[in-house]
């Protein structure tokens, strides 16, 4: 791994740790989310072991993938809220349209994600793409474990 990547990862880790402990009551959650996204991207780049040139081609695609995911989850949450409201209002006729909307949303998300994954795959070797898939599965679990350990350490007084 290049020394510049090691330094970048160290800086991000420092920012994450200071943000997490300087703000324990959960203020500025959007900033924490942005830091986690940056950390995730750096970790992914480290796992993929990309050159600077390769990173320049891959980073915009990774941002598209993330934006697609965020948009889907936001719209999905709104639609489910609409469904919940329709249930409370006993608007059974409106439920069919909302259910159809939700299912269509899922279908469109999967189509777009597949296109973006194919685009990403064309910029990576098969091994790198496989590492990307595995990384996506395990990152959330690993981050959750790290956060729990940090909280336990912080709460125990060191």
pLDDT tens-place string over residues 89-131: 998 889 999 999 999 999 999 999 999 999 999 999 999 999 9
Q: Which residue has the higher pLDDT, 153 or 74?
A: 74
Query: What is d(CA 133, CA 48) in angstroms, rounded to the nearest whole number?
Result: 11
Query: What is d(CA 144, CA 128) in angstroms, rounded to the nearest whole number?
Result: 24
Query: What is d(CA 75, CA 67) in angstroms, rounded to the nearest whole number?
Result: 12
Instruction: Answer whether residue 21 shows pLDDT above 80.
Output: no
* 157: alpha, beta or left? (left if phi > 0; alpha if psi -120 to 50): left
DSSP string, 58-95: HHHHHHHHHHHHHHHHHHHHHHHHHHHHHHHTT-HHHH
pLDDT tens-place string over residues 7-16: 554 555 555 5
Q: Which residue has the higher pLDDT, 157 or 49?
A: 49
Query: What is d(CA 76, CA 56) in angstroms, rounded to the nearest whole number?
Result: 31
How high is the pLDDT of residue 42?
85
């Amino acid at each position: 791994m290049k020394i510049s990547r090691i330094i970048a990862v160290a800086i991000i880790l420092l920012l994450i740790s200071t943000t997490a402990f300087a703000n324990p009551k959960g203020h500025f959650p959007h900033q924490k989310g942005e830091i986690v996204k940056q950390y995730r991207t750096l970790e992914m780049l480290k796992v993929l072991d990309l050159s600077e040139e390769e990173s320049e081609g891959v980073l915009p695609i990774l941002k598209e993938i993330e934006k697609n995911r965020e948009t889907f989850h936001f719209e999905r949450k709104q639609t489910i809220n609409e469904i919940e409201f329709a249930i409370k209002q006993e608007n059974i006729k409106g439920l069919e349209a909302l259910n159809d909307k939700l299912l269509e949303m899922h279908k469109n998300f999967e189509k777009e994600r597949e296109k973006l994954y194919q685009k990403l795959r064309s910029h990576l070797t098969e091994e790198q793409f496989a590492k990307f898939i595995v990384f996506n599965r395990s990152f959330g679990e690993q981050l959750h474990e790290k956060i729990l350990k940090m909280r336990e350490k912080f709460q125990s007084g060191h």
